[in-house]
Amino acid sequence: MPVLVAQELTKSFGERRILDGVSLSIHSGEHVGLVGANGSGKSTLARILAGLDKPDTGTVAQRRGADVAYLAQEPALDPVKTGRELVVQGLGPWAAAKARYEAISARLGHGDGDQDALLAEQAEAAAQIERLGGWDQLHKVDEILGHVGVTRPDAPTAELSGGDKRRVALACLLIAPPSLLVLDEPSNHLDTETIDWLEGWLVEEYKGALLIVTHDRYLLDRVVDRTIELHRGKVYSYEGGYEDYLEAKAERLALEARTEQNRQNLLRTELEWLRRQPKARTTKQKARIQRAEAAKAAVPARAEQTTKLVAESSFTGKTVLELRKLTLDMGGRTLVKDLDFVLAAGERVGIVGRNGTGKTTLLRAVLGDVAPARGEVVVGKNTRVGYFDQHRSGLDEDKSIYDNVAAAGNKIELGGQPIEVRSFLERFLFDGHAQRQPVKSLSGGERARVVLAKMLSQSHSLLILDEPTNDLDLPTLSALEEMLTEYGGSALVVTHDRWFLDRVATSLLVFEGDGRVVRYAGGHQDYLVQKAAAEAAKEEAAKAAAAAAKVTSKDKPAAAKPAAPKSKGLTWAEQRELEGIMGRIEEAEGEVAALEQELADPTLYSSRGAEVPVLGKRLDEAKARAATLLARWEELEQKQAGA
């Protein structure tokens, strides 16, 4: 049964039509992903469906009694209230009963009014609280705040950062789930651990309908049942998650291409016949003329624009960057303690961890903006650094896109060849008209593309990227990933995008808290496997130590108790891990084979001798990753079988 039905929605901004006759429905319990290019109107459509904006024409109807909750990209919160107060407020009737109970208790404390009557009212309010879930609801509030990463729940929201405000707003929605939850880029400003939790909550606990606008491809793939693409004002619906959407869209585009080719063939045939014929006299001739006119009038499907990013890498030595016993302190806290780290040429390292653990501070230390408490940062002699900051600064707001990128002239050099700045910007989907727009008029995604263009217009041997995936649409994300995997230099990337990490990162630096930063080989999924294996080994070691201590504490060992039965079956997260692990094993083994083949090439040692140690290190890491993945696969298979 539909919880919401939209019919023939239109919406224009000036002369530009964002929605052009959009019709869709969302059913009870259905999880729908909404995707599209930056500026296509995803947020506009989401706000209209949530009842926060009105269409120019068309209707949106909600099922009677259904409630809709919306998470905005920039939520408006009461600046005086704390995050905890706002989340409690989200409990509705329970919050009202609690407020009434506290008001009566305050009056009793001050000796106001008829004490017996107040005591009776207090008892009634307490009974209502119990009927609505009891005081355990406060524990539920604390749990939700912790899960979404709100570190200062008792601070007024006016004092919170934009990311913290979004986490509070998200907690307010999750505490009392609605009939339809509309989430606009919920993963922005969340760390990978929180996104993993949100993903599990949406799949396992949330029973209502969902409309989610997100560039997080794992979230789309694992959470949604149907994907809707908004493209040039129209919607296209595809069953399944992100991978299903890609396959079905490729089929649709291929069909459109065949249809256009058939139209062109028909047009050529009919026009040729028309040129050979005298003025039409028969009904059959007139019909052929009408077919030709229809073929000429048909509007061909416009080919989709694609983004192609290219980064020039400059020459560097064997070591690009080295951190020696680095310790970083901030506000009385130790964020990084005694970190030893070497970044070699060609390595791409993802940096992950909970919000506030010090990821951006580490980047700023590498850039020389933050002084270490102890240790040192050694940047290679030939290292040239390009920096992409999460606030998208470094742009002149009043200047146009073109003037920001063409500050050094109207040509740049790529691959040893000069290229016009205008042509270069077209690769970032800025046509001639768009290039004249002032930066201050741009959306978040468009600003991000300008910052990328400005950075990539010069050659660097080390790219430092702080949350580059925020606000980018899926095509630009894919182009950025492709560029980085082909890039000849090195990269340090802070990101919460797990798909991005799996596709790009050769290793991860994980901030585990209390100054501890650990390096893991591979991407995000590899890290989860290694972490699970390490935790399992730690647990087994603890059990063995406890058993040994028990034996030595007695003269005679007691008869061994039967082992507790192992829990059978996999958790949801483990099932997901098992489904994808064989593919990751094949990837790791493929990398091992490719590196072994490359290292067996005699010409490597004479022409690219400096790369041999790096390739050898990558081979060792790939072998270790393959072995770890294989061991984890065997462990999960045994658990699934109930061994």
pLDDT value of residue 623: 82
Q: Which of 191, 234, 209 is nearest to 351 (CA)?
A: 191
Question: In which band, very low, low, confident or very high, does the pLDDT at 560 lie, cut at 50, 70 and 90?
Answer: very low
* Tokens describing residue 72: 């905005």
Say if residue 547's pLDDT is above 90: no
Domain with CATH 1.10.287.380 in the chain: 527-549+568-640
Considering 66-70, 287-291, 616-620, 623-627, the range whose residues carry the highest mean pLDDT is: 66-70
Q: In the structure encoding, which two tokens stand for residue 603, read together?
A: 């010409």
- What's the distance, Cα to Cα, between the start and end of the chain in Å? 42
Proportion of the chain above pLDDT 90, given as a percent: 42
pLDDT band for position 585 (50/70/90)?
A: confident
pLDDT at 563 over 50: no
Average pLDDT of the segment spanning 118-141: 89
What is the band of 209 on the pLDDT scale with cuts at 50, 70, 90? very high
Q: Which residues pair with 229 in a beta bridge?
A: 35, 236
Domain 319-524 has what CATH class?
A: alpha beta
CATH topology for the 527-549+568-640 domain: Helix Hairpins (1.10.287)
| Rounded-to-integer distance, Cα 136 and Cα 114, Å | 30
**Alpha-carbon distance 182 to 173, whole Å?**
10
Judging by beta carbons within 10 Å of its beta carbon (0-12, 13-18, 19+), is residue 563 exposed, middle or buried? exposed
Question: What is the pLDDT at residue 561?
Answer: 46
With H, G, I as helix, E, B as strand and everything else as coil, classify residue 121. helix
Q: CA-CA distances (angstroms) from residue 185 to 153, 339, 593?
A: 22, 34, 39
CB 20 within 8 A of CB 196: no
Q: What is the pLDDT, as a whole number, of residue 151?
A: 84
Segments in 90-161 forming alpha helices (H)? 93-110, 115-131, 136-147
pLDDT for 193 equals: 87
What's the rounded Cα separation, in Å, for the pair 249 and 238?
Answer: 8
Phi, psi of 516 (to 5 degrees): -85, 120
Tokens of 210: 């969902």
Segment 227-283, tens digit of pLDDT: 999 999 999 999 999 989 989 988 888 888 888 788 778 777 766 766 676 555 566
Average pLDDT over residues 499-508: 93
Which of the two residues, 411 and 546, has the higher pLDDT score?
A: 411
As a whole number of angstroms, the distance between CA 277 and CA 179 comes to 65
Report the Cα 363 to chain-centroid distance in Å.
20
Q: How far apart, in whole angstroms, are the C-alpha atoms of residue 192 and residue 194?
A: 5
CA distance 8 to 233: 11
* pLDDT, mean over the chain: 85
pLDDT digits (tens, 9 = 90+) for 137-162: 888 999 999 999 888 899 999 998 87
Contacts of 587 (CB under 8 A, 6+ apart): none
Distance CA 190, CA 98 (A): 31
Q: Is the pTM of this model over 0.95?
A: no
**Residue 57: per-residue pLDDT:** 96
- Asked if pLDDT for residue 559 goes beyond 60, the answer is no
- Residue ranges, comma separated, of all CATH 3.40.50.300 domains in the chain are 319-524
The single-letter code of the amino acid at 599 is L
